[in-house]
């Protein structure tokens, strides 16, 4: 009888396990794979599109611009909950909305932000073959609805983000958006291409570093969201890795492809016969960029700088434009040194020493001992480089004051890395052994980098938790589950290895809580197009006839003139001259906004959909424009020999020209009398500076300053429970538009003659 009893018991247990599994499937315990959502709004009325075009053309005509071009505004950097970080931040315990599917982006762009174009750029590392197919299908549906009645209301693009991070400067290349021209699947990458390294390991091998699975037990009412995240990660793991030795064009569609470097990424795309836009972005973001990282290695020909025609200068993560002479870490990687504080910069490694010294003195230890510990703390923080804050245990955000931040930059990226600023990238030259020179020739774009499927969020300063990436734990207990607090606050720092950083990638590396004060609603890209179509827009993007804004819709023209005052080249152009250049700038401010949403938005979406997406506020322009107060000119003269110091090559501000704007914009002209005599290439771009108006998180850490201008206390605008959800943290800022540069070369024989005289 005993064997029968044992068999019967095992069978009963097996049946119970099967029954429990079946119940779990129906209850969603194992998570459900989410889709791209549903587009609900029909096409925008043609009368509305015609009104927008007529309004812009009236301003252009008043400024003397011809009517053969139109300016379109868009967002080329949009994430949905098909991106891992977007999924995490959408979770209710992190003050998220539960889901932000890609279809929302189509309706938001048309009815909330009233954009002319946008691009889906979810992180390739989290995209499966199914998700990639759904992205293409959703963007195709968006285009079909937008084109239904004639003039397209929005032109959507398919793309992905190559999200590369390295813990050491030699391994770090940063992020690139890859955007395809057409919506024909045969002319789009067969697979998204992930960045090999930290980001892939974090997702495929170490997802618990992003979100502990037991977090669902803290929010049982929304437990399905957390179960679905587990399924989201598992779906990625289930995709087999591609054979890295097989050319990309010969790989099957259903494998997980990776590229190690930008050059490898380009080669894989070219293997498929593709020539997309590849746009670096977030270059100066210091929360993941190791100190000492510079643009220099990305100018080497194998990195393919020739295909990087555009750069994202401004996003919801801040401004990556401005170069500064200070360094986060001095010395080389083998012997890093913590620099002393200077004007407008307090190195984080230096502040690490201040924190440790204050603790040491508070314990009553001798001053000499505490001085030695402060020196050691600075060494330790400098040595580890990225995430040096981890060497100081038990610190608070307030302890760091404004350390690591560019204090005199316009809305800077967090922990600003000056050697990967856009200005530095334009100033450096790579000289190879054959005497060939390589330089970046970028056009400038702005975008949102939204993670809530909301393209073009910067039209009004509101909705901090919906229109920016500011988010965080709903309660202290949740915060401690995600970022467990240190035990104690010792008066000595830790000596961490760089391998620790490489092997322990997670939220703790990024100073997650502190950077929440730097998230804004992002920027826009504006394109001068010959026709309002996909081909017309692509032509403008490829030829760099674009400019960036900090989120509003200024109108900007920047042209090179001949001796008769005729336009010979526009922004983004290359030209060779035999005389000193003359430039003309025309600019008009953005339209002042009315409260609420326009009638077409109210009619086009259901009330619930309108509230859920737009949060009660849409792009709703009146007839008056903000005033442009001045035009700033930046001149950069790229290196002409290896190692030439860049500090004197970047002239910001080179000229500041008043703008006599009474509500219709202004026109200014300027020349460079030193161009020919300088006998070297020169780059010029302009900023149209607008009168101050509100922006979310414009004051970042909200410092209190002493009489000497030093930050002595901070009041961060937290994304988590420490700052009320309704607190918008708005402050006035001078919004701006950046033209793409004009790249000039003096004719050799003329320049030589001028220089000799």
Tens digit of each residue's pLDDT (9 = 90 or more) over 521-568: 999 999 999 999 999 999 999 999 999 999 999 999 999 999 999 999
Let me know: does 101 contact 36? Beta carbons within 8 Å.
yes
Task: Give the mean model confidence (pLDDT) for residues 175-202.
Answer: 93
Whether pLDDT at 332 is above 80: no
- Summary mean pLDDT of the chain: 91
Of the pLDDT bands very low, low, confident and very high (cuts 50, 70, 90), residue 148 is confident
Summarised one tens digit per residue, pLDDT across range 425-484 is: 999 999 998 889 999 999 999 999 999 999 999 999 999 999 999 998 899 988 888 788
Strand boundaries in 479-554, DSSP class E: 524-529, 546-549
Let me know: does 157 contact 533? Beta carbons within 8 Å.
no
Of 371-375, 479-483, 700-704, give the lowest mean pLDDT range: 479-483
Tokens representing residue 272 in the block: 């498929």
Of 81-90, 327-336, 452-461, 571-580, give the lowest mean pLDDT range: 327-336
For residue 438, the surrounding DSSP H or E stretch is strand 437-438
CB atoms within 10 A of CB 658: 11
Whether pLDDT at 201 is above 90: no
Summarised one tens digit per residue, pLDDT across range 79-131 is: 999 999 999 999 999 999 999 999 999 999 999 999 999 999 999 999 999 99
Give me the helices (H) in 625-712, please: 675-678
CA 262/CA 195 separation, integer angstroms: 9
Of the pLDDT bands very low, low, confident and very high (cuts 50, 70, 90), residue 502 is low
pTM passes above 0.85: yes
CA 696/CA 692 separation, integer angstroms: 13
Whether pLDDT at 76 is above 60: yes
Tokens representing residue 396 in the block: 């608070």
Whether pLDDT at 580 is above 90: yes
CB-neighbour burial class of residue 508 (10 A; exposed 0-12, middle 13-18, buried 19+): middle
Q: What is the pLDDT of residue 21?
A: 40
Using alpha carbons, select from 617, 690, 167 the residue that is nearest to residue 410: 690
Let me know: does 356 contact 393? Beta carbons within 8 Å.
no
Tokens representing residue 327 in the block: 């360094």
Q: What is the pLDDT of residue 23?
A: 43
Let me know: does 428 contact 683? Beta carbons within 8 Å.
no
Of 115-129, 414-428, 499-513, 697-711, give the lowest mean pLDDT range: 499-513
Task: Give the mean model confidence (pLDDT) for residues 632-654.
Answer: 97
Listing DSSP states for 657-677 in one string gives EE---SSS-EEEEEE-TTHHH
Q: In sequence order, what are the residues at sequence separation of 6 or more whose Cβ sits closer than 8 angstroms to the Cβ of residue 730?
A: 461, 462, 694, 695, 696, 698
CB atoms within 10 A of CB 496: 17
Q: In sequence order, what are the residues at sequence separation of 6 or more whose Cβ sits closer than 8 angstroms to the Cβ of residue 724?
A: none
Whether pLDDT at 26 is above 50: no
CA 336/CA 513 separation, integer angstroms: 27
Summarised one tens digit per residue, pLDDT across range 303-322 is: 999 999 999 999 999 999 99
Of the pLDDT bands very low, low, confident and very high (cuts 50, 70, 90), residue 748 is low
Q: What is the pLDDT of residue 479?
A: 86
Q: In sequence order, what are the residues at sequence separation of 6 or more whose Cβ sits closer than 8 angstroms to the Cβ of residue 734?
A: 410, 629, 689, 690, 691, 692
Q: In sequence order, what are the residues at sequence separation of 6 or more whose Cβ sits closer than 8 angstroms to the Cβ of residue 635?
A: 651, 654, 655, 672, 682, 683, 684
Whether pLDDT at 505 is above 70: no
Of the pLDDT bands very low, low, confident and very high (cuts 50, 70, 90), residue 25 is very low
CA 199/CA 506 separation, integer angstroms: 9
Q: What is the pLDDT of residue 11?
A: 54
Using alpha carbons, select from 284, 336, 282 the residue that is nearest to residue 498: 336
Of the pLDDT bands very low, low, confident and very high (cuts 50, 70, 90), residue 750 is low
Tokens representing residue 424 in the block: 């530095």
Task: Give the mean model confidence (pLDDT) for residues 209-237.
Answer: 87
Give me the helices (H) in 222-322, please: 223-237, 262-271
Listing DSSP states for 194-243 in one string gives EETTHHHHHHHT-GGGT--GGGGGG-GGGHHHHHHHHHHHHHHHTSPBP-
Task: Give the mean model confidence (pLDDT) for residues 351-371.
Answer: 97
Q: What angle do CA 399, 404, 408 make, to 5 degrees?
A: 115
Q: What is the pLDDT of residue 478?
A: 86
Q: What is the pLDDT of residue 156?
A: 98
Whether pLDDT at 749 is above 90: no
Task: Give the mean model confidence (pLDDT) for residues 607-624.
Answer: 97
Q: What is the pLDDT of residue 22?
A: 43
Using alpha carbons, select from 574, 279, 577, 311 the residue that is nearest to residue 423: 311
CA 36/CA 59 separation, integer angstroms: 39
- The 8 Å CB, 24+ separation contacts for 359-365 are 359/489, 359/490, 359/491, 360/491, 360/492, 362/491, 363/491, 365/491
Summarised one tens digit per residue, pLDDT across range 44-74 is: 999 999 999 999 999 999 999 987 889 999 9
């Amino acid at each position: 009888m005993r064997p029968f009893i044992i068999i019967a018991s095992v069978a009963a247990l097996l049946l119970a396990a099967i029954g429990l599994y079946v119940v779990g499937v129906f209850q969603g315990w194992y998570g459900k794979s989410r889709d791209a959502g549903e587009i609900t709004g029909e096409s925008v009325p043609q009368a509305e599109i015609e009104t927008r075009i007529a309004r812009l053309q009236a301003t252009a005509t008043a400024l003397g611009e011809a009517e053969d071009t139109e300016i379109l505004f868009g967002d080329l950097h949009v994430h949905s909950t098909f991106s891992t970080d977007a999924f995490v931040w959408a979770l209710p315990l992190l003050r998220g909305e539960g889901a932000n599917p890609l279809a929302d982006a189509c309706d938001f762009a048309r009815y909330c932000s009233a954009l002319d174009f946008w691009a889906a750029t979810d992180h390739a590392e989290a995209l499966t073959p199914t998700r990639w197919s759904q992205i293409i299908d959703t963007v195709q549906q968006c285009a079909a609805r937008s084109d239904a009645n004639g003039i397209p209301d929005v032109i959507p693009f398919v793309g992905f983000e190559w999200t590369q991070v390295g813990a050491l400067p030699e391994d770090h290349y940063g992020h690139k958006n890859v955007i395809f021209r057409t919506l024909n699947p045969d002319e789009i990458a067969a697979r998204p291409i992930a960045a090999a390294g930290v980001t892939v390991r974090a997702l495929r091998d170490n997802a618990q570093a992003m979100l502990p699975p037991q977090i669902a037990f803290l929010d049982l009412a929304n437990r399905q969201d957390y179960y679905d995240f587990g399924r989201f990660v598992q779906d990625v793991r289930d995709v087999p890795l591609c054979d890295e030795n097989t050319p990309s064009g010969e790989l099957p569609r259903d494998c997980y492809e990776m590229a190690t470097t930008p050059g490898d990424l380009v080669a894989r795309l070219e293997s498929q016969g593709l020539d997309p836009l590849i746009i670096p972005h977030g270059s100066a973001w210091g929360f993941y960029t190791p100190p000492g990282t510079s643009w220099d290695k990305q100018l080497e020909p194998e990195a393919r700088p020739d295909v990087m025609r555009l750069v994202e200068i401004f996003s919801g993560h801040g401004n990556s434009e401005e170069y500064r002479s200070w360094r986060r870490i001095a010395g080389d990687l083998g012997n890093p040194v913590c620099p002393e504080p200077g004007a407008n910069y307090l190195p984080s490694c230096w502040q690490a020493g201040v924190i440790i010294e204050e603790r040491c003195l508070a314990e009553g230890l001798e001053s000499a001992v505490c001085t030695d510990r402060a020196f050691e703390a600075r060494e330790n923080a400098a040595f580890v480089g990225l995430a040096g804050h981890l060497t100081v245990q038990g610190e608070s955000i307030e302890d760091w004051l404004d350390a690591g931040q560019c204090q005199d930059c316009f809305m800077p990226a967090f922990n600003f890395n000056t050697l990967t600023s856009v200005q530095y990238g334009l100033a450096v030259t790579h000289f190879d052994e054959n005497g060939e020179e390589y330089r970046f020739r970028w056009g400038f774009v702005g975008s949102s980098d939204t993670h809530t499927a909301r393209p073009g969020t910067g039209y009004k300063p509101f909705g901090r938790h919906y229109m920016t990436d500011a988010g965080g734990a709903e309660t202290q207990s949740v915060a401690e589950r995600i970022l467990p607090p240190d035990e104690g606050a010792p008066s000595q720092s830790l000596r961490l290895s760089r391998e620790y950083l490489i092997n322990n990638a997670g939220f703790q590396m990024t100073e997650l809580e502190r950077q929440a004060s730097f998230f804004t609603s992002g920027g826009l890209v504006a394109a001068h197009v010959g026709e309002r179509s996909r081909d017309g827009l692509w032509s403008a993007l490829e030829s760099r006839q674009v400019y960036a804004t900090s989120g509003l819709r200024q109108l900007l023209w920047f042209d090179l003139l001949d001796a008769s005052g005729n336009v010979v080249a526009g922004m983004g152009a290359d030209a060779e001259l035999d005389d000193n250049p003359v430039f003309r700038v025309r600019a008009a401010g953005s339209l002042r906004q009315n409260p609420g949403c326009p009638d077409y938005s109210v009619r086009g979406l259901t009330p619930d959909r309108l509230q859920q997406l737009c949060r009660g506020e849409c792009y709703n322009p009146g007839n008056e424009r903000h005033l442009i107060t001045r035009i700033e000119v930046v001149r950069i003269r790229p290196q002409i020999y290896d190692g030439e110091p860049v500090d004197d090559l970047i002239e910001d501000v080179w000229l500041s020209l008043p703008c006599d704007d009474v509500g219709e914009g202004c026109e200014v002209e300027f020349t460079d009398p030193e161009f020919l005599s300088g006998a070297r290439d020169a780059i010029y771009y302009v900023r149209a500076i607008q009168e101050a108006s509100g922006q979310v998180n414009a004051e970042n850490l909200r410092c209190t300053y002493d009489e000497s201008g030093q930050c002595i206390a901070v009041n961060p605008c937290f994304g988590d429970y420490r700052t009320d959800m309704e607190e918008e943290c708005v402050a006035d800022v001078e919004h701006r538009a950046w033209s793409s540069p004009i790249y000039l070369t003096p004719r050799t024989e003329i320049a030589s003659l001028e220089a000799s005289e």
